[in-house]
Structure 1
Amino acid sequence: MAIHVKGLRWWMIGLLTIGTITNYLARSSLGIAAPTVLTELGISTHEYGWITGAFLVMYPIGAPLTGYLMDRAGLRVGFMICGVAWSLICMMHGFVSGWVGLFVLRGLLGLAEAAFIPAGMRAVAYWFPSHERGLAAGGFNLGTSFGAILAPPLIGWSILHYDWRVAFVIAGALGLVWAGFWFVLYRHPSEHKALSPKEAEYIGVSPEPETAKRDANAANNPGKPSFRTILRTRNFWGIALPRFFADPVWGTLVYWVPLYLYQARGFDLKTIALTAWLPFVAADIGSVTGGALSMFLHKRFSTPVIDGKRWAFTLGAVLMIGMAGVGLVVNPMTAVLLLCLGGFAHQTLSVTVISMSADLFPKREVATVTGLVSFVAGLGNLGFTLVIGLLVSRVGFTPFFIVLGFLDLIGATVLWTVVKPKPVSDEVASFARHHEGSAVPVAASCAGGER
């Protein structure tokens, strides 16, 4: 007799979140170890700029490629391949002898690590009904901030007790362990023996063995997604352009805030270490808030799922205006608080638009769509980073924070005017069964779906 696990869909998201943590540990390792690595290998800051740039260039390219891989090979195998890849690449950092080796490895790492958002949204599309997808997306996005927070103590401890080469091996080894657990524990919901009949009905998985087998085969051997068709769909651009305007905030928090606190606010390294992680804690809260708000609007006011996410995005965009004041306030700690507000606002709106790919496109295409959206977002992040690098020494940081404060209002406008949701037939039936007899309008609650 099979043992059923209550709330199995949340356990699956937890497993994916741990993978995201290992992803960000590998990604953040070089930044933490950089002072030691640059000194021992004789790498200049100019060469280090090329090394970090390799990741930023290859990451947007990797997003649609890894998304396509997971839509073609299935999530269990596809994400395991990507997890093994980024773990081994991270471990190989510990065996380089110069900046060229790091340059190549960071580019490869960008390709492999771009997998986590397409993977997360494919899992969310199959494991969650539409009204819970925003919260689920916020759940696996928690791993990004946790990884960024855990990297400094782990890498610092490894360097102090061993050396910087061992630090990369440890960080990569953790990813390999997770990849093994992922391959063993993850299954498509139609194949997972621990999924209870009640939860299967709730998420729209057929209880009939033959139908379940057919659904699992379709998920593991799907049709070939068409890049051209996706790129010609207005809903794709309706969620891609808001990401294009939103993602520069995250890039600024990760790559530029420590330097800003040092150069513009006079923080020493100890003070930076005590404060630079705070925006990521606020971002964690925002990851949950965006999805929870859209779900609350749906349950309390019967707001259509897509509209609830648009309202959550809009709230985040309005709160983001506070980030425009980071360079204008006199008190340094007030500036840090505004950066925290920016982190919270960004993740509040980011998780809502990320999760929309599962509401607007067929499940078999979700990872590919999410990857292509991430490619567009990565172009925005890369372009903004390059402009900062070119002009910050001439005009300072203040104009860039002002621009960041208002970009998401453009994204909110696009989200409201371009996206055209349509009902999802399979989710309408599932939601109707679960809420039979309730006053919630089924068609409104399941807004979204295939084009």
Structure 2
Amino acid sequence: MKNSGKKTNVRYLMLVFMGVAMLVNFIDRATLSVAAPVMSKELGFNAADMGWAFSAFGWAYMLCQIPGGILLDKFGSRLVYGLAMLVWSVFTFLQGSIYLFSSAFITLFIFRFLMGMAEAPATPASSRLSVQWFPDNERGFATSIYQTAPYVALGVFTPVLSYVISIFSWHYVFYSAGLLGIIFGAFWLTFVRDPLKHKSINKEELDYIRDGGGIPELGSAARKSQQTITWAQVKSMCATRMMIGVYIGQFCLTSITWFFFTWFPTYLYQEKGLSIIKVGLVAAIPAIAGFVGGIIGGMLSDYLLRKGYSLTLSRKLPIVLGMLLSCSIIVANYTQSVPVVIFVMSLAFFAKGFGNLGWCVLSDTSPKEALGLAGGIFNTFGNVAGILTPLVIGFIIQATGSFDWAIIYVGSMGIIGVIAYLFIVGKLERMTLGATTSPQVSSTAVHN
């Protein structure tokens, strides 16, 4: 640790690593959606088959959230995240070879499932790191950076991966994304450290993080020795009204995300008749809008908090406004104009990004004793959408031959999310796990 009078800013370097890691994460998730229009035609997969293939990731991702959270609290974000990145990147790479197996569909499902298992700790690890490295009044911005990775993945890499398909074949989408993840995973394990173990941070920055509500000591041996989490306490974290509302809201936001990460390129290819190159370029536009919305939403939330507004208003206002505006996606059913469709989709994705502060809310309200586990529980509920959304849309398309009802399904998620945050969540406060099995709420741990 450095000794100097001026505060260092190592936390921003760690934020770069967090952002790139999440970018790699979502590039790997997006590979199948980009390859799907060509792959499904070549291998003879129908809409229902692709729905199951898209959902394979979600099944594993959801089931492994709580085990992943436990691993994070035990071994820390640096090690668990880094190793997970290497493993999921290997399974991404292997998806390019499914045509070599006797049953390409079963092999694809297995590889996607194993990839989902490995990716389970990723977002909870980022949430945990944001608490270690950032004070409360910077955490909205920090969260918006790593949570806008999906938009960058779609906006920048969908055209790139589509070009790869047009020049080579769909196999190389998986090969290139897998190699990228393996290389960055090695960089992560080499350079990322917890605050107390980072050689470049000084006492002034540690004090700044700590005094602002961050927990640089999270993951230290002393803190681990104090953790005695029981299953009764885990159950209690799932049963509070505040968290139930937050879980419902996250399910709704994740549903919108998974439409764009699974069926959107196919929607443009089949429903709107665009070529695979045009699909890559057009799909980038809503993603860029989502990126902009995510940054603005996070900055607005932190600005409101710095101005003295309550934690509840500062976090909930962007979320409610964003989810309400995301319902505009339904307008796409009432126009045949591709530019209008892209505008509507861009507006909906901007709104989704603007309101994508669920992980920030989790960081603000979870028990400090079990941030990794709390993130796992949160992501378990939220990513039920990773299973249902691709399956429901696949069955709708198979049954109706159209995306119309699928778009209505996605748009309805915004209304449900608004209802959850307005009428269920209530006041946002930090939960603590006391000596009993029921969590208590600490009114001094938040900005009122």
1:252 counterpart = 2:259: yes
Q: Which residue of 1 aligns with 2:440?
A: none
1:44 aligns with 2:45: yes
AA aligned to 1:240 is: Y
Task: Determine the C-alpha separation between the residues in 2 that align with 1:15 and 1:274.
Answer: 27
Distance 1:25 1:221 in 2: 37
Question: In the alignment, is the contact (CA less than 8 A) between 1:423 and 1:447 conserved in 2?
Answer: no
Residue 58 (str. 1) matches residue 60 (str. 2): yes
**What amino acid sits opposite 1:137 in the alignment?**
T
Conserved? CA contact 2:158–2:281, under 8 Å: no
Q: Secondary structure of the equivalent of 1:105?
A: helix
Match of 2:375 in 1: 370
Give the aligned partner of residue 272 of structure 1: 279
2:375 and 2:217 map into 1 onto residues whose CA distance is 26
Match of 1:88 among 90, 93, 97: 90
**SS state of the match for residue 195, structure 2?**
coil
The question of 1:412 aligning with 2:418 is answered yes
- Name the counterpart of 1:109: 115
Residues 1:216 and 2:220 aligned together? yes
Q: Does the CA contact (< 8 Å) of 2:159 and 2:284 recur in 1?
A: no
> Is the CA contact 1:235–1:360 (under 8 Å) kept in the aligned structure 2?
no
- Which one of the candidate residues 132, 143, 146 is aligned to 2:149? 143
Instruction: Please tell me whether the aligned partners of residues 251 and 382 of structure 2 are also in contact (alpha carbons under 8 angstroms).
Output: yes
User: Alignment partner of 1:195: what SS?
Assistant: coil
With over 3 angstroms needed to count, the CA separation of the structure-2 counterparts of 1:280 and 1:214, relative to structure 1, is closer
Task: Decide whether the 8 Å contact of 1:80 with 1:182 is kept in 2.
Answer: yes
Q: 1:204 to 1:384 in 2, by over 3 A?
A: same
Q: Which runs of 5+ in 1 are unaligned?
A: 426-442
By how many angstroms is 1:242 displaced?
0.7
Query: Does 2:390 align with 1:385?
Result: yes
Report the AA paired with residue 92 of structure 2. C
CA distance in 2 between partners of 1:162 and 1:219 (Å): 51
Deviation (angstroms), 1:49: 4.4
How many angstroms does 1:406 deviate by? 4.4
CA distance in 2, matches of 1:3, 1:173: 39
Q: 2: distance between equivalents of 1:55 and 1:201?
A: 40
Residue pair 2:217, 2:223 contacting (<8 A) in 1 also = no
Whole-Å Cα distance in 2 between the matches of residues 402 and 171 of structure 1? 32
Q: CA deviation at 1:319?
A: 1.7
Residue by residue over 1:203-233, the C-alpha shift from the partner in whole angstroms, topping out at 9 and shown as x without a partner, is 1079xxxx98797224566735443232233
User: Is the CA contact 2:137–2:302 (under 8 Å) kept in the aligned structure 1?
Assistant: yes
**CA distance 1:3–1:344, shift in 2 (3 Å):** farther
Q: How does 1:36-435 map to 2 (within 5 A)?
A: 42-45=43-46, 47-96=49-98, 97-98=100-101, 99=104, 100-152=106-158, 154-155=160-161, 167-204=173-210, 216-218=220-222, 223=227, 225=229, 226=231, 227-300=234-307, 302-350=308-356, 352-392=357-397, 393-394=399-400, 396-416=402-422, 417-422=424-429
CA-CA distance at 1:26 after TM superposition = 2.1
Q: Is the 8 A contact 1:121 1:358 kept in 2?
A: yes
* AA in 2 matched with 1:61: L
- The answer to whether the 8 A contact 1:66-1:82 is kept is no
| C-alpha contact 2:366 2:430 (8 A) present in aligned 1 | no
Contact 1:51-1:102 within 8 A present in 2 as well: yes
Taking structure 2 as the reference length, the TM-score comes to 0.84
Q: How many residues align?
A: 424
How far is 1:141 from its partner?
A: 1.6
Query: Hey, what's the Cα distance between the residues in 1 that align with 2:430 and 2:194?
Result: 23
Shift of 1:3: 8.1
- Separation in 1 of the partners of 2:109 and 2:52? 7
Q: Residue 437 of structure 1 corresponds to which residue in structure 2?
A: none
What is the alpha-carbon distance in structure 2 between the residues aligned to residue 160 and residue 329 of structure 1? 29
Cα displacement (A) at 1:291: 1.0
- TM superposition shift of 1:80: 1.5
Deviations 1:387-426 (A, max 9, x none): 322234428433443454343343233224434433699x
Q: Which moved more, 1:110-119 or 1:339-348?
A: 110-119
| Bigger mean CA deviation after superposition, 315-324 or 80-89 | 315-324
Aligned residue in 1 for 2:435: none
Distance 1:167 1:343 in 2: 24
- Letter paired with 1:72: K
Q: Give me the TM-score of the superposition, normalised by structure 1.
A: 0.83
- Quick one: structure 1 residues 212 and 305, their matched pair in 2 at CA, closer, same or farther if it must change by over 3 Å? closer
- Identical aligned pairs, as a percentage? 24
Q: Is the 8 A contact 2:135 2:209 kept in 1?
A: yes
How far did 1:154 drift? 4.9
Distance in structure 1 (CA, Å) of the matches to 2:267 and 2:37: 18
Query: Is the 1:189–1:205 Cα contact (8 Å) retained in structure 2?
Result: no
Is the Cα contact below 8 Å between 2:29 and 2:261 reproduced in 1?
no
Flag the 1:222–1:38 CA change in 2: closer, same or farther, 3 A.
farther
Query: Does the 8 A contact of 1:74 with 1:221 survive in 2?
Result: no
Q: Does the aligned pair in 1 maintain the 2:155–2:285 contact within 8 Å?
A: no
Note the C-alpha offset of 1:83. Answer: 1.0
2:8 corresponds to: 6
Question: Deviation digits for residues 85-138 of structure 1, max 9, x if unmatched?
Answer: 112222333444231322211100111123221111101111111222121111
Structure 1 contact 131–446 (Cα < 8 Å) conserved: no
